[in-house]
Chain A
């Protein structure tokens, strides 16, 4: 417990600073461990080896100082809030640090220096060196020089031994490793690329057990068999139409090729529909069968003489009309009717020139036709 407290307290500062300073990671190190890992492991091992020699009394004092340091830490964070820049909004992997609230760089003040001093003193041994080492880590993690690597290696070994002895620390070591993966994922990983990352093993926070999405237990409010027999709601049809429209629009994105654009235009009714039908959208005309357009002779029956020049002329009119695509059937009919009425008016002249066969009376014929039309209507 004591160990963990100590470690937590000591880990706080260096990791924070490392995370805050973007350039802090050390380069030129091809070995798999990174500076940040060594910085935290370093202190751990150092403190641990020293601690073993310490008396109970000293431990208590140390513990007290460290808790003070943590408290000071959190108060500092509050005061530094106003310095937070916009980019700090970005979520970091905060949650992985058990005790850390947020990741921020803070000015190091005398309080920290004092705390470090106290720690070093309580540890005993080479007080000055311990203190300067700690301070160096805290204040200047960037400029960690090669001079420290020798002792660092020793300490690293020490840490490993320690871990073998105390199984409790394994998860913490994992945490450290994970914390530095955020800073320099590649360096830390290069020697274990093959190892698949199992996130739930690395997390320090409690983990939910596997979730079964198909549990049997229900809310027991609805009775499924009954519900199936209930009618679907048919209310608010306009609302539904609008809702569907909005849904459709929310998945309509700028077309990413010409075909998509054509699909869009087709749906908006701007271009021909495939397969091409040249009578597209001519809905009124669709109701009329094509024979109505072509066989117009029936409109001559009754009023037109069955032979002679008049018949000849009217048949030609029908042929012409049957080939005209621009007129509707109604217009063609009216056209023929115009001739009918015209000839009716001119019947005097027509019978004089002998255009009517003998005994033909156009008036009667027209009368009949009109009557039969009215009847059928």
Chain B
């Protein structure tokens, strides 16, 4: 009886795994089972969890490329072309779907998936309602919204004020231009960010529909004023936005914080002198305080942006820090964009060196960053630029890089253009500060070519490093990369490679000599077989040819060397400069070895033509090491003069 009750208890508590044995001997175990609350999961949470287990494979091409050796792009141009080709296919599919909507009748999904449906087309004869207008505004189809609005007007339908306001905001935000569709991610990724430059000049469409709508309001309210002020300030119509701003103030309207932000952001266009500009910004802030407009992050960023355009003086920096303190007191934490402006304020090209990036990194390290401002994406590229050009600080650069690779922070890299500039700075800095071996093992072999393809200038830096260390063992790999990355048309790279190979002291081993000779012959072929119509063709220089010849001869490729020699002799008009004397000497020595006096004589002829004083010595060497016949001797004496052999 007793035993069975103990057994029963143990049976009840069996669920608590390891305790079973203990429970066998205790009778009074009280288990407090707490059922956890249900955690609500979003539709992508499971996917995110799975995704976090996948790490970047540095040896594989990006996911978007086909996993096929033939279709994996290696050069920057290739990467862009392949991705854009894919995007073009996507666009073609869109077009077919749009043009032949009636052909796609089958309905797989119920209810229908809206993003697969063709876009509704609107033209002059469409029957439209207010409902349609609201829908296209929500989807931000600018052109359709304009069409529908005009149709409604022509039919004398009264558009409600709310819809008018929404349309005004849409038009102001995009400046009457259709934004790129959400689906074209590749295009957005590869689109060069000209935006920054474009902002400089006025792109606002004067007198277009936005202004018409604004005028059509009998008594525009503060919302309408705010929208149009923001739009004008965003697209460079600074003067009129300021004018409207004053107009709104004179009407005692309470403008939105974003309208104030926009005006602060364009202060550098409104006020020329630095001190006036700063007073203006302070005035704006005081006005906000008076009007009880709650400032936000964008206010902070726009104040800092204006400060960053105000030169290098110390007061500017102080003011920037004070601004940070002011906003921090209001619980507005700076975003990456704020730090970006702080960086460009403190680290000017001509100004004093400032270690402020270190402080900023102390703030940011380990954080999971989110985008809060459109300029946030400028931070990482600028920070790396400063690590490289401003501070030359390897440790700091690594800290920045670690932050970038933490959590999902890599999303903030911006676009492909910024990414490649980021890596250009990072790689160049590493190449300059780390030992070559470390650099090649830890960085080059890891990041190149799938994460980053070095531009010619970066390649040049790396090659210079190799040259300085006489680390010729890396040359075969680097040269094949140069070919793969399409840099073969860079004369400075070719010259440097040849230089390194010729002057290397480690090249004595047979295997290296053979590989070098292959590279030299490769270079010869690349230059010799250039497309006739190519622009920026590379032409041989005498020095180049001499080096190629030297490398070939070091590997005893006499026949190929002869071809190079012929080029030197026959194309003296197209080949700039002359080969070095050492190369010619080597050639003559090999001629002796091969017992080919006629080749040697023509080489000596070339040496004399090129004005080498020691050419006569060559002739003497030739004469002593080979028994020459009459014709050869007479030729030689014609070339170097009869006195030499006496």
Residues of chain A whose beta carbon lies under 8 Å from any beta carbon of chain B? 22-23, 25, 27-28, 30, 34, 87, 90-91, 93, 95, 181-187, 189-190, 193, 196-197, 199-200, 202-203, 205-208, 210-224, 227-228, 230-233, 235-236, 238-239, 242-243, 245-264, 266-270, 273-275, 281-282
Residue pair A233, B257 in contact (C-beta under 8 Å): yes
A362 vs chain B, min Cβ distance (A): 38
Residues of B close to A255: CB separation below 8 A: 63-64, 185
Indicate if the CB atoms of A254 and B295 lie closer than 8 Å.
no
A214 to B286, CA, bound (A): 23
Within 8 A of A (CB), among B291-342: 292-295, 317, 319, 321-326, 328-331
* Pairs across A and B, CB under 8 Å, 5 listed: A186-B436, A207-B352, A217-B321, A238-B170, A239-B173
For this complex, into which size category does the number of interface residues on chain B fall? 35 or more
B115: chain A residues within 8 A (beta carbon): 268-270
A242 to B226, CA, bound (A): 15
Residues of B within 8 A of A202 (CB): 392
Question: Does A213 lie within 8 Å of B185, measured CB to CB?
Answer: no
Instruction: Collect the chain B residues with CB atoms within 8 Å of residue A250's CB.
Output: 371, 374, 377, 414
In the complex, are the beta carbons of B258 and A213 less than 8 A apart?
no
Closest to B394 in A: A197
A252 and B415 CA atoms in complex are apart in Å by 10
Least CB separation from B332: chain A residue: A227
Query: Is there an interface contact between A266 and B43, defined as CB atoms closer than 8 Å?
Result: yes
Interface string of B236-271 (1 = CB under 8 A from A): 000000000000000000001110000000000000
Residues of B164-212 at the interface with A, using a CB-CB cut-off of 8 Å, are 165-166, 169-170, 172-174, 179, 182-183, 185-186, 188-189
Selected interface stretch from B93-101, B125-133, B464-472, B571-579: B464-472
Nearest A-chain residue to B372, judged by Cβ: A247
Interface of A is mostly: loop
Chain B hits for A223, CB < 8 A: 289
Could you tell me the distance in whole angstroms from the C-beta of A27 to the nearest C-beta in chain B? 4
Name the contact of A259 in the complex, choosing from B47, B325, B346, B504 (C-beta under 8 A): B47
Q: Of B43, B140, B496, which contacts A245 at CB under 8 A? A: B140
Contacting pair A270 B113 (CB below 8 A) = yes
A2 to B436 alpha-carbon distance, docked (Å): 40
Q: Tell me the interface secondary structure of chain B in the complex.
A: helix
Most buried by A among B114, B285, B329: B329
B625 close to A (CB within 8 Å):
no
Q: How far is the CA of A239 from the CA of B113 in the complex (A)?
A: 27
Contact yes or no, A251 B371, CB < 8 A = yes
- Cβ-defined contact, B169 with A239, below 8 A: yes
8 closest residue pairs by CB, A with B = A273-B43, A184-B468, A259-B51, A238-B169, A235-B256, A251-B411, A208-B354, A230-B294
Q: Which residues of B contact A (CB under 8 A)?
A: 41, 43-48, 50-51, 54, 56, 62-64, 83, 110-111, 113-116, 137, 140, 165-166, 169-170, 172-174, 179, 182-183, 185-186, 188-189, 222-223, 226-227, 230, 256-258, 282, 285-286, 288-289, 292-295, 317, 319, 321-326, 328-331, 346, 349-350, 352-356, 359-360, 363, 371-374, 377, 389, 391-395, 411-414, 431-433, 435-436, 457, 460, 464-465, 467-470, 492, 495-496, 499-500, 503-505
Q: A22-B496, A184-B468, A266-B43 known; A199 and B353 CB under 8 Å?
A: yes
A197 touches B393 (CB 8 A): yes
- Are B286 and A257 within 8 A (Cβ)? no
Min CB–CB distance A118 → chain B (angstroms): 31
Contact (Cβ within 8 A) B285 A222: yes
Are B47 and A274 in contact, with the CB atoms below 8 A?
Answer: yes
Interchain CB contact under 8 A, B294 and A221: no
Decide if A269 touches B460 in the complex (CB within 8 Å): no
Task: Please name the residue on chain B nearest to A182 by beta carbon.
Answer: B432
Contact status B322-A253, CB under 8 Å:
no
The smallest C-beta distance from B226 to any residue of chain A, in angstroms, reads 6
Given contacts A250-B374, A270-B116, contact A28 B470 (CB under 8 A): yes
Q: Is B47 within 8 A of A266, CB to CB? A: yes
Q: How far is the CA of A275 from the CA of B45 in the complex (A)?
A: 9
Q: What separation, in Å, do the CA atoms of A196 and B457 have in the docked complex?
A: 26
Contact A87-B324, Cβ < 8 Å, known A213-B363, A239-B227: no
Q: Are A254 and B294 in contact (CB under 8 A)?
A: no
Are the CB atoms of A22 and B346 closer together than 8 Å? no
Closest to A94 in B: B349
User: Are B226 and A22 within 8 A (Cβ)?
Assistant: no
Q: Are B468 and A34 in contact (CB under 8 A)?
A: yes
In whole Å, how far is B551's beta carbon from the nearest beta carbon of chain A? 15
| Complex interface: chain A residues within 8 A of B432 (CB) | 181-182, 185
Q: Is B470 touching A221 in the complex (CB atoms < 8 A)?
A: no
Distance of A252 Cα from B408 Cα, bound (Å):
11
Q: How far is the CA of A206 from the CA of B288 in the complex (A)?
A: 38
Distance of A203 Cα from B328 Cα, bound (Å):
33
**Contact residue among B227, B354, B393 (Cβ-Cβ distance under 8 Å from A211):** B354
Please give, as numbers and ranges, the residues of chain B lying within 8 Å of A211 by CB-CB distance: 317, 321, 346, 354-356, 359
B189 engages A254 (CB within 8 Å): yes
